[in-house]
């Protein structure tokens, strides 16, 4: 599968989206390539999350999340949010420009090619991953320069 070219996305969620009085309200982000469009009507997308990852645990509890399609200028962001055993999610977002999604409260990364806000419709356990299918509630495609960030044979790539 390392020979399949994949686009790189950042999946994000805000812990307090359903519980504004919750104790922590951390933003959580995870780099992913297992992201795809599923249906146009209704608009559905899917992401595969490793079972037991922080994002999988969070989305088992709350249905709101977002996806930012990363541009070729954002490999540092991709690398940062793929780190395991990180200190604190808050530090990861510290110097990153983002807006907060109106519907989900999740970070939408500035400079991304597009952003999607989603609500989980279905969760399917498949081996050691959870396939999370979400309905797209809101989408933006800002006028951003540059092409996509791709991943091929274990390395980040740009087109061309
Ligand atoms: C290019 C790339 C693509 C990745 N794609 C996925 C993915 O689709 N699903 C997933 O669960 N983890 C994926 N990962 C791994 C997660 O980013 C990583 O395990 C996570 O950020 C660490 O958090 P955790 O300690 O909670 O697992 C990918 C990592 C990289 C570098």
In a domain, 119, yes or no: yes
Using the mean position of ligand 1's atoms as its centre, give its distance from the Cα of residue 101 in Å: 22
Which residue puts its alpha carbon closest to atom 4 of ligand 1? 32
Which residue puts its alpha carbon closest to atom 2 of ligand 1? 32
SS3 99: strand
Give the residue-averaged pLDDT of 45-65: 95
Give the residue-averaged pLDDT of 29-56: 97
In a domain, 136, yes or no: yes
Which pTM value belongs to this model?
A: 0.94
In a domain, 35, yes or no: yes
Within a 13 Å sphere around the CA of 58, how many CA atoms are in the beta-carbon half? 25
What average pLDDT is seen over the chain?
92
Which residue puts its alpha carbon closest to atom 23 of ligand 1? 84
Tally of structural domains, the chain: 1
Distance CA 99, CA 96 (A): 10
Q: Do the Cβ atoms of 101 and 108 come closer than 8 Å?
A: yes
Look at residue 58 and tell me whether its pLDDT is greater than 60: yes
Q: Do the Cβ atoms of 19 and 64 come closer than 8 Å?
A: no
In a domain, 104, yes or no: yes
Distance CA 135, CA 49 (A): 17
In a domain, 149, yes or no: no
pLDDT band at 105 (very low <50, low <70, confident <90, very high): very high
Q: Do the Cβ atoms of 138 and 116 come closer than 8 Å?
A: yes
Which residue puts its alpha carbon closest to atom 29 of ligand 1? 82
Q: Scanning the structure block, which residue is given the tokens 């990861």?
A: 92
In a domain, 128, yes or no: yes
What is the pLDDT at residue 158? Answer: 96
* Percent helix / strand / coil, the chain, rounded to 5: 15, 45, 40
CATH of the domain at 121: 2.30.110.10
What is the pLDDT at residue 3? Answer: 98
Ligand 1: nearest atom to the Cα of 50? 11
In a domain, 2, yes or no: no
Give the residue numbers spanning the domain of 108.
7-144
In a domain, 114, yes or no: yes
Ligand 1 contacts (CB < 6 A) are: 8, 30-34, 48-50, 53-54, 81-82, 84, 151
């Amino acid at each position: 599968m390392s020979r399949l070219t994949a686009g790189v996305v950042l999946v994000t969620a805000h812990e307090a989206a359903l519980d504004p009085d919750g104790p922590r309200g951390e933003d959580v982000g995870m780099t992913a390539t297992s992201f795809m469009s599923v249906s146009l009507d209704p608009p559905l997308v899917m992401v595969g999350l490793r079972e037991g990852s922080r994002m999988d645990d969070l989305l088992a509890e709350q249905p709101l999340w977002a996806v930012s399609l990363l541009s070729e200028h954002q490999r540092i962001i991709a690398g940062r949010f793929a780190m395991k055993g990180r200190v604190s999610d808050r530090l990861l977002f510290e110097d990153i420009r983002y807006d907060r999604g109106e519907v989900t409260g999740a970070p939408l990364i500035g400079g991304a090619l597009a952003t999607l806000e989603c609500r989980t419709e279905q969760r399917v356990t498949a081996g050691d991953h959870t396939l999370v299918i979400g309905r797209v509630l809101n989408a933006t495609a800002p006028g951003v320069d540059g092409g996509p960030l791709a991943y091929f044979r274990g390395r980040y790539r740009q087109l061309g």
